[in-house]
Amino acid sequence: MSAEIEDIRRCFIEAVQGCSRRDDPWRHWLLEDCLPPAVGEALANLPIPVPRIDDTRGKRETHNLLRQFFSVENRRRFPVMDQVARAFQSPEVVEALETLCGVDLSGNYLRIEYCQDTQGFWLEPHTDIGAKKFTMLIGLSKEPEAAAWGTSIYRDKETFVGNAPFGFDKGLIFIPGDDTWHGFVERPIQGVRRQIMLNYVIPEWRSRHELAFPDQPVS
């Protein structure tokens, strides 16, 4: 393991060990300083054009062709993507997350999306149940307004509770369940709402091009 990957691994495990848990309206964890600052900066400044999307219709998959992932191809193009993916593929990070969340992730596959949301973006309330066995969001935005750009949390599909904290290197973790309603209430985005969205998904995941290591499950 390279020094860069080891730094990411160590930094994230420390963030996990220092995170805080919330149980209302459903269990989730909040993290600070998830990645080494230089890694967060490198991700935030990747030369990936910001997609111009008129309307998501409340779903990211509305514009699947514009989405960017830590895929095999992008890992070759961008060394920082490869380093982050290898850190989250490592048994040490997987074990830390399994211990934190009380979940078995072995045999699943790493999927990381690079999100760049702009004015007009919104997501309808939904849960990640099914193919996603773990969900984490890490913010990459430094704009002063970014504190108001957190994931919207709901008690049920109709009952909005509030927005999770958001900002550079802040994280949100939850294990998808039939009660983990979340989305993004449309609000002003002056700038670009950047974040990475990390999942461990089941072996049957069909869009193999989205996976960081499509032939290698985590252990």
pLDDT digits (tens, 9 = 90+) for 64-116: 668 999 999 999 999 999 999 999 999 999 999 999 999 999 999 999 999 99
Sign, CA torsion 55/67/80/205: positive
Non-local (6+) Cβ contacts of 102 within 8 A are none
Non-local (6+) Cβ contacts of 78 within 8 A are 46
End-to-end CA distance of the chain: 16
193 falls within a domain: yes
218 falls within a domain: no
90 falls within a domain: yes
Task: Residue 165: give its domain's CATH number.
Answer: 2.60.120.620
- Print the domain residue range for 13: 3-209
Rounded to the nearest 10°, the torsion over CA 67, 111, 37, 80 is -80
217 falls within a domain: no
Residue 51: pLDDT band with limits 50, 70, 90: confident
106 falls within a domain: yes
H or E element, residue 194: strand 193-201
